[in-house]
Amino acid sequence: MIAYIERFVHENDVDTMPEPDSGEEQGDLSPLFNGVDIQGTVEFAGCGSAAAGIDFGGVQVSKPLALIRPANSDDVAKVVRLASRSPHLTVAARGNGHSVNGQAMAHRGLVLDMKTIEPKITVDPETAQADVSGGALWEDVLKRCVLGYGLAPRSWTDYLGLTVGGTLSNAGVSGQTFIYGPQTENVTELEVVTGNGDVLVCSKNENPELFFSVLGGLGQFGIITRARVLLQPAPDMVRWIRVVYSEFSEFTRDAEMLVTRAEGDSFDYLEGFVFVNSDDPVNGWASVPLDSDQFFDPSCIPPTAGPVLYCLEVALHYKNHDPPSAVDMRTERLMGGVRFVEGLRFSVEVGYMEFLLRVKRAEKEAKANGIWDAPHPWLNLFVSKTDIADFDRLVFKNILKHGVGGPILLYPLLPSKWDSRKSVVLPEGGGMFYLVALLRFCFPYPKGLSVEEMIVQNQEIVQTCIQNGFDFKLYLPHYTSREGWKRHFGNQWSRFQERKARFDPMAILAPGQKIFPRNW
């Protein structure tokens, strides 16, 4: 059987690869799985597994040999062991395929659709924890925990159509990260299938090296089949507020002041974004109001304002039984030292689930007008606070002064909330840093920029960071050379390599990250 697999792995040379959805006949690949007794299903590339060969980014395409829909972690282990018997076969766990650079792809390899593993979400209200399968969508975790138990995870991403295993392999950041750390800091136990084909439970006390490796590990050390997620009582309502700044230094001063307030005495969520100082309907003033009956009055903007403005976004949780006056008092106490442009404060009251599912509404609109399915060459960075003012001057006010056709997120994060034993790397200075996310939602060319133009702009931004010696890291990193990855991990590179040698020595897992070639 191995010889059979090898024939397919070798014979499908990259140059002669048909497009994944071309339907080109590949012959019968089914003997690949002879003797591998899995409960799930196997679909071969030639029979329409195109979905496994593209992702949200829409920039990369690949052609897997097969798409496997595992029923459980044993199926996952069997597939990894099958691959380990070949010197070339790789395995990619695919969450919801919301990567933008082919990270969940396996060209001429095996793709596991993690969403099909028994979608278990079991809540233990006593310990306030939920056991969820690695392929569960965060939106389903939210609904089950809140509607069934009045509990909710503490740390989120902005968009919840992502899988638990997918975000835990990166970090998972949003407006709660300054309080609770990223999602990787909010799980207490994992079940993992390693690159050796072992199914192991790990936590800080049991197999700790595997636990720390896998969290933020870019899928390199194991496939997360179950995660135990910390929960807390869910609020009923959210007061959601946006305020506008014309001066970058005032925006960062207030954002930093708010994220460093004493624990338990802060907003429950803080983010921010950069927008264009113009009437551009996508990138400009109109992107700020929270409700259709709110109006952004440009006459409030000081004449000294530059080409871009800044919006600080905060939210406060409360219960239905909280007296409105108490909610008002808490809000105004927290807003007390905040100095934004007068007249540019917007506020709405929304249900907690409605708040967390806010990007779902944007998804519906984007799907309707075609920009959800257009390419998304996104760029995400962590930039040290020491360099963020220069970044503003050179990137926001210059390269991006006309916007990116979607949100430009900008908010501070605290390294003290990130356990450095986990695999994710942060700017090296060790101080506060900013998430910068260029979430491009452009109409396809020729209506919008071409993909190439957007990628060139991303490269220009990264080059600006390098040339100016900024202390930064890519978040959701993407490099194609070993040198790039070595630079990315910096002094953590040897640890990352050692972890690979221990948990996936044959480099079977997550080939789409392009870090370790098979049998490196």
List residues binding ligand FAD (CB under 6 A).
Answer: 56, 92-99, 103-104, 114, 134, 157-159, 162-163, 165-167, 169-174, 218-219, 223-224, 476, 510, 512-513
Q: Which is nearer to ligand FAD, 210 or 341 (CB)?
A: 210
**Alpha-carbon gap, residue 169 to 161, rounded angstroms:** 15
Q: Which is nearer to ligand FAD, 318 or 378 (CB)?
A: 378
Supply the minimum distance, in Å, between the C-beta of residue 301 and ligand FAD.
28
Sign of torsion, CA 469 473 479 482?
positive
Supply the minimum distance, in Å, between the C-beta of residue 54 and ligand FAD.
11
Supply the minimum distance, in Å, between the C-beta of residue 57 and ligand FAD.
8
**Alpha-carbon gap, residue 216 to 406, rounded angstroms:** 26
> Tokens standing for 340?
């934004």
Asked if 269 and 176 touch (Cβ cutoff 8 Å), the reply is: yes
Q: Residue 122 carries which side chain, given as an amino acid letter?
A: T
Please, where are the H alpha helices in 181-337?
208-214, 248-259, 324-335
Residue 98 annotated among the catalytic residues of the structure: yes
> Tokens standing for 15?
């140059």
Q: Which is nearer to ligand FAD, 101 or 246 (CB)?
A: 101
Supply the minimum distance, in Å, between the C-beta of residue 110 and ligand FAD.
12
Task: Tell me the backbone φ, ψ of residue 516, rounded to 5 degrees.
Answer: -125, 120
Asked if 223 and 231 touch (Cβ cutoff 8 Å), the reply is: no
Supply the minimum distance, in Å, between the C-beta of residue 61 and ligand FAD.
15
Residue 363 annotated among the catalytic residues of the structure: no
Instruction: Say which of 6, 158, 236, 322 is annotated catalytic.
Output: 158
Asked if 235 and 247 touch (Cβ cutoff 8 Å), the reply is: no
Asked if 426 and 474 touch (Cβ cutoff 8 Å), the reply is: no
> Tokens standing for 273?
């974004």
Instruction: Say which of 55, 254, 271, 313 is annotated catalytic.
Output: 271
Q: Which is nearer to ligand FAD, 92 or 142 (CB)?
A: 92
Q: Residue 45 carries which side chain, given as an amino acid letter?
A: A
**Alpha-carbon gap, residue 432 to 426, rounded angstroms:** 10
Instruction: Say which of 88, 98, 376, 478 is annotated catalytic.
Output: 98
Residue 135, Ramachandran bin (φ over 0: left; ψ between -120 and 50: alpha; else beta): alpha
Residue 428 annotated among the catalytic residues of the structure: no
Q: Which is nearer to ligand FAD, 149 or 180 (CB)?
A: 180
Supply the minimum distance, in Å, between the C-beta of residue 220 and ligand FAD.
8
Asked if 399 and 464 touch (Cβ cutoff 8 Å), the reply is: yes
Supply the minimum distance, in Å, between the C-beta of residue 356 and ligand FAD.
11
> Tokens standing for 157?
């991403």
Supply the minimum distance, in Å, between the C-beta of residue 469 and ligand FAD.
26
Residues with Cβ within 8 Å of 283's Cβ and at least 6 positions away in sequence, in order, are: 275, 276, 402, 403, 404, 405, 406
Report how far apart, in Å, the C-alpha atoms of 104 and of each of 47, 57, 223 are.
20, 11, 12
Task: Tell me the backbone φ, ψ of residue 150, rounded to 5 degrees.
Answer: 65, 20
**Alpha-carbon gap, residue 496 to 500, rounded angstroms:** 6
Nearest to 82 by CA among 163, 9, 191: 9
Q: Residue 422 carries which side chain, given as an amino acid letter?
A: K
Longest Cα separation, the chain: 73
> How many residues appear in the chain?
520
Q: Which residues are annotated as catalytic?
A: 98, 158, 271
